[in-house]
Amino acid sequence: MTRLNSLTAERDDQLSRAFAALADPTRRDMVARLAVRDATVGELAEPYDVSIQAVSKHIKVLSDAGLVSQRRDAQRRPCHLEAEVFNLMTRWIERYRQQAQERYERLDAVLAEMRGDDQPTESEVRKRGGAS
């Protein structure tokens, strides 16, 4: 932990909160519904058989993660989905997914070469054994 890049600490926290928020099926369902239209806490709570306080907590989690915002409309607190943090998550995931995919695509070639010809190229050796 100590060695994690401290420059990305804040962003890490946001990512952590965002991923954690979406780890709950109920919250993901709320997000899905908020993508269609804004909704008050009561409206959001309606489909689930949990207390409205529980739903309020869920919204707080989503809100702390920056995934939703709430405005005020009389007694109501309509929730609105914020796209920005989703971008952050997508970018994080895509970065590593692509690296993994690229490595995977190269794997076939490497394996074929190793099977057909015992002498893999220098760059492939570097990749497998590789330094730092």
Partner DNA sequence: CATTTCTTCAACCAATGGGTTGACAAGGGC
Partner DNA sequence: GCCCTTGTCAACCCATTGGTTGAAGAAATG
Q: Which residues bind DNA (CB under 7 A)?
A: 1, 20, 23-24, 26, 40-43, 49-54, 56-61, 70, 72, 74-78
Return the number of the residue (2 or 123) whose C-beta is nearest DNA: 2
Q: Which of 42, 38, 40, 61 is nearest to 52 (CA)?
A: 42
Residue with tokens 């890049």: 5
Q: Are 68 and 28 in contact (CB under 8 A)?
A: no
The three-class DSSP label of residue 70 is strand
State the binding partner of 52 from DNA, its own copies, none, CB within 5 to 8 A by kind: DNA
For residue 130, the minimal CB distance to its own copies (Å) is 6
Return the number of the residue (26 or 56) whose C-beta is nearest its own copies: 26
